[in-house]
Chain A
Amino acid sequence: MTTTADVSVGARTGARARRAVAPARRRRRTLVVLGQLVGFAVLAMWCLFPMYWMIVSSLKGPSAILSNSLVPASPSLLNFETIFQGSHNLLYALRNSLIVAGTTTVIALIVGTLAAYAAARLPIKRRGLVMGIVLATSMFPHIAIVPPLFQLFTEWGWIDTYQALVLPYVSFGLPFAIWVLYSYFRQLPWELEQAAQVDGCTPLTAFARIVLPLAAPAVFTTAILVFIIAWNEFLMANTFSLTLASQPVTVAIARFTGGSELEQPFGPIMAAGVVVTIPLIIVVLIFQRKIIGGLTAGGLKG
């Protein structure tokens, strides 16, 4: 809401500029920079303060955790030691999340790249319908498949296994991957395959030798996005994982309770949150330009 006020600051400076007296120009410049600084500060607070608070809280020991001081008086790594020892060691959950999200990404990307290429570049029938179905499967409520899958997975003995998470995750990540890669493949020049055909390539070799190498960066970006979707998923994980054998990090953090709700150990929980989130944020910051491109092409939320 402060941001709207900020826009009107910009509008006012614009109005002043139109009165266009030369000496007023410098004052206008200062106002613009001031407005930019305020806008930047508001956005930075919005995006980073909760994250900052999570890190600060994770560094406060049991005696300091309730103090609300903006910097930990005497930083301690005790919370991090707590989460990496004992029967509920976070390493199990990290292992499970890595395996589940990694497998999901590999399957979704292989299957999705092929489908996206076919939908974007080959003369298939009812292209609109195919892409419509793909889009619809990415927006349906996941709860709709929870009761039937729970019954089926119980029957098959799949509860608390990796495949009970990987298969639903693939069906969530796949439509997203197809949609992003589809819009990428559509942008490539049509002469690519024509030239390949003139050189005697079959459609499949044209795809493998010419289009795929060109698409590698887009495939890589999509892989990061699908990995994040799988890493962050909670509903399926909360339903189908019971023990350390398959429980991913999201569920481990949400269930990290000391029994009664009032005594939830927030210090260790914040430490676990930091461990789970920081690697993700580093990856996102490194590839931010590409990720924003992929997100706006996909237009979907994970």
Chain B
Amino acid sequence: MSAATTTVARHSSRSSGLPQHQAERRLGRRLLLPTAILLTLMVGYPIVWALRLSLFSDSITGQTHLVGFDNYARALWGSDAVQFWAAVRDTALFTVAAGGLELVIGVAMALVMSHLGVFRGLVRAMILVPWAIPTAVAAVLWKWMLTPNGIVNELLGRQILWTGETTPARTAVVLIDVWKTAPFVGLLVLAGLQLIPKDLYESAKIDGAGAVRRFRSITLPLVAPAILVAMLFRVLDLMRMYDTPAILTNGANGTATLSLFTYEHAIDQAKFGYGSALSTLTFMLIFAAAFLIIRLCGVKVFASDREGSGG
């Protein structure tokens, strides 16, 4: 009995012949089964179904036939190549611009929050407000603030057509996402900051390290893992951006992200074959990006698990 419990406690993967252990294994499988069924039905199966659909032609009559990789060719180097690569470029632009700004502003916000003393409780409460507002509501709210005679132009003293021209429209999309998400990134970084032992700073101070030096030699390296994980999630989330440009411009003026471009063909034009090819391409691009980031930056997504603490 005691042997069995130690095995359980250590979570050894060695198979044990003891009945208690076998019962736990069986229970584990059963408890995971509903999740496996749901995710297979709602995520796995549709993705595979899209692969199949993407090999078929589209027609108004419903008579489709196998066309091989024609749908992919059309997007990658065929008649739609210009728009497709424009969507890739715009998505990449939003990801880099918004991701970069969210990182810099998020870290700055975290540093400010960690030095706020008595105000910290208040700030922690209000920092969640932009995060809690639905993206759709944030988009219509900013659309209103960015109207030609709106509050933003009034405060700037300018007459910018925010949704009517390419650069302002792209700026607006980035602005809305940064406004909504930088505080959230700040929260994640702050959580990382608070794990740094205070005596590290004390001894560095005694050794004569200035504030900048302390930031570069202690703060940055120690919060880097938290920042990397946050940025991985931000990049993957930005690459699938849909809500904000859909509501703000409906993809006009250089804001058609991959998700919007796919949506337009698959749903608005009801081309399931071609649309599925586009959605599969989007999926593969984001998958490749995730793979590259994890490999190149050595993001330890499971780091918190290995240390046995997740906050």
Interface residues of chain A, those whose CB is within 8 Å of chain B, are: 1, 3-4, 6-7, 10-11, 14-15, 18, 32-33, 35-37, 39-40, 42-44, 46-48, 50-51, 53-54, 57, 66, 68, 111-112, 114-115, 117-119, 122-125, 128, 130-131, 133-135, 137, 139-152, 167-168, 170-171, 174-175, 178, 182-184, 186-187, 190, 193-194, 197-198, 202-204, 228, 231-232, 234-235, 238-239, 249-251, 253-254, 264, 266, 269-270, 273, 276-277, 280-281, 284-285, 288-289, 291-293, 295-297, 299-301
Contacts and interface: CB of A to CB of B under 8 A. Distances in A.
B111 interface: yes
B136 A232 contact: yes
A288 to B, nearest CB: 5
B233 A139 contact: yes
A183 B237 contact: no
Interface in B295-309: 301-302, 304-305, 308-309
B160 interface: no
Interface in B36-68: 38-39, 41-43, 46-47, 49-50, 53
A239 B191 CA distance: 36
Given A3-B111, A190-B9, 20 more contacts: A3-B105, A3-B108, A10-B111, A36-B118, A42-B112, A47-B126, A48-B126, A50-B141, A118-B29, A139-B233, A139-B290, A144-B50, A146-B279, A147-B53, A148-B50, A234-B136, A250-B136, A266-B140, A293-B311, A301-B233
Given A7-B111, A296-B187, A50 B145 contact: yes
B142 A50 contact: yes
Nearest to A191: B9
A254 B139 contact: yes
Contact of A137 (B8, B39, B128): B39
A291 B187 CA distance: 11
Contacts, number: 345
Contacts of A123: 7-8, 11-13, 21, 24-25, 28
A193 B23 CA distance: 14
Contact of B31 (A68, A114, A253, A292): A114
Main secondary structure of the interface of A (DSSP, over half): helix
A194 B8 contact: yes
Contacts of A146: 262-263, 266-267, 279
A291 to B, nearest CB: 7
Contact of B140 (A46, A152, A253, A285): A253
A43 B113 contact: yes
Nearest to A57: B144
